[in-house]
Structure 1
Amino acid sequence: MYTTKLANDYIKKNKYSVNNKYRFKYHAMPPIGWMNDPNGLIYFNNEYHLFYQYNPYNSISGPMHWGHFTSKDLVVFKDEDVVLAPEAIDETGCFSGGAIVDEVTKELVLFYTKHYEKYGVKFETQNIVKSKDGINFVKNDGNIISTSMIPEHADKYDFRDPNPYYKDGYYYVFIGSKNEYNQGQILVYRSIDLVNFEYHFTIGPNKYFGDMAECPDFFTIDGYDVILVSATNLKAESNRFLNVNSSLYLIGKMDFENKKYEIIKVEEIDGGHDFYAPQTLLDNKNRRIMIGWLNMWGKDYYTHKLGHKWSGALTIPRKLSIKDGHFMQYPIDEIKNYQTNKRGFTNGMLISKSSDLLFKLGNGNFNFKFSNPNNDDDYFIIGLDDGELYLDSSKSILWPQTRRNSLFKYNKEVELRILP
Structure 2
Amino acid sequence: MDRSSDLIRQAEQTVAEYKDIVNQDKYRLHFHLMPPVGLLNDPNGLIQWEGRYHLFYQWNPFKTAHGAKFWGHYSSSNLVDWKEEKIALAPSEWFEKNGCYSGSAIEDNGKLKLLYTGNVKDEMGNRKTYQCLAESTNGIDFHKKGVVLRLPEGYTAHFRDPKVWKYEEKWYMVIGAQSEQLDGRAVLFSSNDLEEWTIIGDVAGTNLNGLGNFGYMWECPDLFQLEHNDILLVSPQGLKPEGMLYNNVYNTGYFVGRLDYQTGVLEHGEFFELDRGFEFYAPQTTVDNQGRRLLFGWMGVPEQEEDKHPTISHHWIHAMTIPRELLFRDGRIYQQPVKELQNLRKNELTLTDVRIEPEYSFSQLEGSVYELQMHVEEFEAEQLEITIKDSVRLMFNKNEQVFTLERVSLSTGAPEVRQCQLTNLTKLQVFVDTSAIEIFINDGKEIFTARMFPDVDNKRMVFQARDGHVKGSIQKWDF
> Any idea what SS the aligned residue of 2:20 has?
helix
Query: What does residue 343 of structure 1 align with?
Result: 349
> Aligned to 2:371, which of 352, 356, 375?
356
Supply the distance in 1 between the matched residues of 2:140 and 2:184 (Cα, whole angstroms): 35
Question: 360-369 or 325-334: which moved more?
Answer: 360-369
Matched, 1:113 2:117: yes
Supply the distance in 1 between the matched residues of 2:295 and 2:106 (Cα, whole angstroms): 16
Question: 331-340 or 86-95: which moved more?
Answer: 86-95
Supply the distance in 2 between the matched residues of 1:72 and 1:125 (Cα, whole angstroms): 33
TM-score when scaled to structure 1?
0.91
Matched, 1:382 2:384: no
How far does residue 106 in structure 1 lie from its aligned partner after superposition? 1.9
Cα 1:396–1:114 change in 2 (3 A) is: closer
Query: What does residue 215 of structure 1 align with?
Result: 220
Supply the distance in 1 between the matched residues of 2:107 and 2:423 (Cα, whole angstroms): 41
Supply the distance in 1 between the matched residues of 2:414 and 2:369 (Cα, whole angstroms): 20
Matched, 1:370 2:370: no
Matched, 1:92 2:98: yes
How far does residue 233 in structure 1 lie from its aligned partner after superposition? 1.7
How far does residue 384 in structure 1 lie from its aligned partner after superposition? 0.9
Supply the distance in 2 between the matched residues of 1:385 and 1:414 (Cα, whole angstroms): 14
Question: 3-12 or 233-242: which moved more?
Answer: 3-12
Cα 1:242–1:192 change in 2 (3 A) is: same
How far does residue 396 in structure 1 lie from its aligned partner after superposition? 7.6
Supply the distance in 2 between the matched residues of 1:271 and 1:29 (Cα, whole angstroms): 22
Supply the distance in 1 between the matched residues of 2:334 and 2:323 (Cα, whole angstroms): 13
Question: 107-116 or 84-93: which moved more?
Answer: 84-93
Cα 1:293–1:399 change in 2 (3 A) is: farther
Query: What does residue 391 of structure 1 align with?
Result: 405
> Any idea what SS the aligned residue of 1:97 has?
strand
The question of whether the paired residues in 2 share the 8 Å contact of 1:26 and 1:419 is answered with no
Question: 69-78 or 348-357: which moved more?
Answer: 348-357
Q: How does 1:149-164 map to 2 (within 5 A)?
A: 150-152=152-154, 154-155=155-156, 157-164=157-164
The question of whether the paired residues in 2 share the 8 Å contact of 1:158 and 1:178 is answered with yes
The question of whether the paired residues in 2 share the 8 Å contact of 1:209 and 1:230 is answered with no
Query: What does residue 197 of structure 2 align with?
Result: 197
Q: Which amino acid aligns with 2:219?
A: E
CA-to-aligned-CA distance 1:279-329 (integer Å, 9 cap, x gap)? 001011100011100011223345456511111100111110111212111
> Any idea what SS the aligned residue of 2:349 has?
coil
> Aligned to 1:312, which of 296, 312, 318?
318
Matched, 1:81 2:86: yes
Query: What does residue 130 of structure 1 align with?
Result: 135
Q: Which amino acid aligns with 1:338?
A: L
The question of whether the paired residues in 2 share the 8 Å contact of 1:209 and 1:229 is answered with no
Cα 1:366–1:8 change in 2 (3 A) is: same
> Aligned to 1:61, which of 55, 60, 66?
66
Cα 1:58–1:259 change in 2 (3 A) is: closer
How far does residue 39 in structure 1 lie from its aligned partner after superposition? 0.4
Matched, 1:259 2:264: yes
Cα 1:397–1:98 change in 2 (3 A) is: closer
The question of whether the paired residues in 1 share the 8 Å contact of 2:173 and 2:190 is answered with yes
> Aligned to 1:416, which of 429, 450, 453?
429
How far does residue 236 in structure 1 lie from its aligned partner after superposition? 1.7
The structure richer in strand per residue is 2
TM-score when scaled to structure 2?
0.80
The question of whether the paired residues in 2 share the 8 Å contact of 1:29 and 1:314 is answered with yes
Larger RCO, structures 1/2 (Cα 8 Å, 6+ apart)? 2
Supply the distance in 1 between the matched residues of 2:47 and 2:188 (Cα, whole angstroms): 21
Supply the distance in 2 between the matched residues of 1:399 and 1:31 (Cα, whole angstroms): 28
The question of whether the paired residues in 2 share the 8 Å contact of 1:185 and 1:202 is answered with yes
CA-to-aligned-CA distance 1:34-70 (integer Å, 9 cap, x gap)? 1000001000021100000001111222221100000
> Aligned to 1:28, which of 4, 29, 33?
33
Gap runs ≥5 in structure 2: 207-211, 352-359, 434-479
Alignment: residue pair count: 406
Cα 1:55–1:395 change in 2 (3 A) is: closer
Question: 256-265 or 316-325: which moved more?
Answer: 256-265
Identity rate, percent: 30
Cα 1:250–1:399 change in 2 (3 A) is: farther
Matched, 1:326 2:332: yes
> Any idea what SS the aligned residue of 2:18 has?
helix
The question of whether the paired residues in 1 share the 8 Å contact of 2:64 and 2:312 is answered with no
Supply the distance in 1 between the matched residues of 2:408 and 2:244 (Cα, whole angstroms): 17
Supply the distance in 2 between the matched residues of 1:25 and 1:319 (Cα, whole angstroms): 21
Q: Which amino acid aligns with 1:403?
A: V
Q: Which amino acid aligns with 2:12?
A: N
The question of whether the paired residues in 2 share the 8 Å contact of 1:303 and 1:309 is answered with no
What value does the CA root-mean-square deviation take over the aligned residues?
2.1
Cα 1:10–1:306 change in 2 (3 A) is: closer
The question of whether the paired residues in 2 share the 8 Å contact of 1:22 and 1:303 is answered with no
Query: What does residue 41 of structure 1 align with?
Result: 46
Query: What does residue 246 of structure 1 align with?
Result: 251
Supply the distance in 1 between the matched residues of 2:300 and 2:264 (Cα, whole angstroms): 35
> Any idea what SS the aligned residue of 1:5 has?
helix
> Any idea what SS the aligned residue of 2:342 has?
helix
Query: What does residue 303 of structure 2 align with?
Result: 298
Supply the distance in 2 between the matched residues of 1:167 and 1:371 (Cα, whole angstroms): 48
> Aligned to 1:15, which of 13, 19, 41?
19
Supply the distance in 2 between the matched residues of 1:204 and 1:397 (Cα, whole angstroms): 36
Supply the distance in 1 between the matched residues of 2:410 and 2:396 (Cα, whole angstroms): 19
> Any idea what SS the aligned residue of 1:246 has?
coil
Cα 1:44–1:409 change in 2 (3 A) is: same
Question: 361-370 or 267-276: which moved more?
Answer: 361-370
